[in-house]
Amino acid sequence: MGLPGSGGELGPQIRVNGSWAEGMEGTVAEVREGARQGAAEIHSRDGSGGGNEGPEFRHIQEFTNQTWQARSGQPLPGHLVLLVWSLIVSLYPLGGLLGALLAGPLAVMLGRKQSLLANNVFVVVAAILFAFSRRAGSFEMVMLGRLLVGVNAGVSMNIQPMYLGESAPKELRGAVAMTSAIFTALGIVMGQVVGLRELLGGPQAWPLLLASCLVPGLLQLASLPLLPESPRYLLIDRGDTEACLAALQRLRGTSDLALELAELEEERAACQGLQPRRPWELFRDGTLRRQVMSLVVLGSAMELCGNDSVYAYASSVFLEAGVPQEKIQYAIIGTGCCELLMASVSCVVIERVGRRMLLMGGYCLMTFWGSIFTVALCLQNSFPWMPYLAMSCIFAFILSFGIGPAGVTGILATELFDQTARPAAYMVCGALMWTMLFLVGLGFPFLMEGLSHFLYVPFLGVCVCGAIYTGFFLPETKGKTFLEISEELRKLNLPRRSQGPRWRGPDVIQSTEL
């Protein structure tokens, strides 16, 4: 995930790369929609530590200034250029927040598959706006495109893991759902590569770079109609047993489906007569107390753990370590490759070691490497090898984030909530994530200025809290059906009721004494 527009000594810049793909991945003999949308994700990438601005950022600034001067005959004042840039940056998370709130109703009314198809309307319109913004001489088109791309990202990041988790068998549910993290990381790497100055990062090509989000959107529009709807949605929400059976046969092949269909029928009976929950109802339901708390705590921890800020701080660390200014963009690609590598490893091992172990291990490793990184920053002027240690810590920190929090956190809303509460849970999770992303982008420059080399200390505290909460309060869901998970959580939320009826009669004498 990129950090939209960090400032401070790094100098805010446009990295029009982010997560490039509404990609595809092959699972259970089908091709699935992958990762987060956002070919035009903007964040700090190429700061030099001295306030130098990256070329892509200057391209957008120059375009804004030239457009204004062509309209009014006067150049746009510097503070207004900064204001326009701030709006361009902030409209992406704002759109993501709107998309997250839209995802729940869409998932209920249209279904998971149809919602993903309809969601591509936003990215197609955004790509058209980006592509013709320069020719039309309108920076407002860039701003509107950013908002629409954010809406597309907010919808897809909520409904896509829901679709995967509901369609996968319980033995592979974690691995299948983790593929969204893999394709998110793959999108970051592809965006970093495409955004190189030698490719689409030049002064004339930036509209095409922004509009490249159209490519994965078209791929999804061409392939997703070939895939079935979520079997759980068809049976539990729609009550269509035949369509559910047909979807299962397409997903599982010719294997015996009697046991899985019986499991779905049990889940359907448990949800019989219940209406889809609304987000605020989740907070008032005592039977969902543990689930909501886990969603809020771990969702916040993922956004506040400092990974996005590591990306923003990486350029200055690489420069301090002696990486030439013109080569930093290649070193940045290595950070995205680290997250992609560990997300792939996590996908392979998640069904063996479980969710809790990956989350705890990831946060503990992030705490360790973040502490070393803080020490290295404080002593970078005392020892000549300290900048190299700090650079190594950046890669290690991102590797630790990729092995656990990056992918496992997105599975929680699927596994901890039942069919009626799941869309609302994703609305809460998505709204929380985009709000935190905005706050981190807003507050990180002030942390840099106020805490200097100790700016990662608050993030380390968040990592410690994430590890502690996971170890003591998050139940393991590996290999369990949704009904088994719901029953276990019901006992945790209502321990007295789960012990059976209490004796209301006279006291029973347990022993006598002569």
Instruction: Give the pLDDT of residue 5.
Output: 33
CB proximity list for 442: less than 8 A, separation 6 or greater = none
Q: Angle 382-387-393 (CA atoms, 0-180°, nearest 5)? A: 125
| Residue 446: its H or E element | helix 422-451
Q: What is the value of pTM for the model shown? A: 0.80
Instruction: Give the pLDDT of residue 11.
Output: 32
CB proximity list for 139: less than 8 A, separation 6 or greater = 60, 63, 64, 67, 84, 88, 133
Average confidence score pLDDT of the chain: 79
Q: Enter the DSSP assignment of 420.
A: T
Q: Read off the pLDDT of residues 236-274 as tens digits, 9 standing for 90 and up.
A: 888 888 898 889 888 888 667 888 888 888 888 888 878
Q: Read off the pLDDT of residues 284-343 as tens digits, 9 standing for 90 and up.
A: 888 888 899 999 999 999 888 888 778 777 777 787 777 777 788 888 888 888 888 988
CB proximity list for 354: less than 8 A, separation 6 or greater = 476, 478
| 3-state secondary structure labels for all residues of 21-33 | CCCEEEECCEEEE
Which stretches of the chain score pLDDT less than 50?
1-55, 498, 502-512, 514
Q: Angle 502-507-512 (CA atoms, 0-180°, nearest 5)? A: 135
Residue 465 CA to residue 293 CA, distance in Å, equals 13
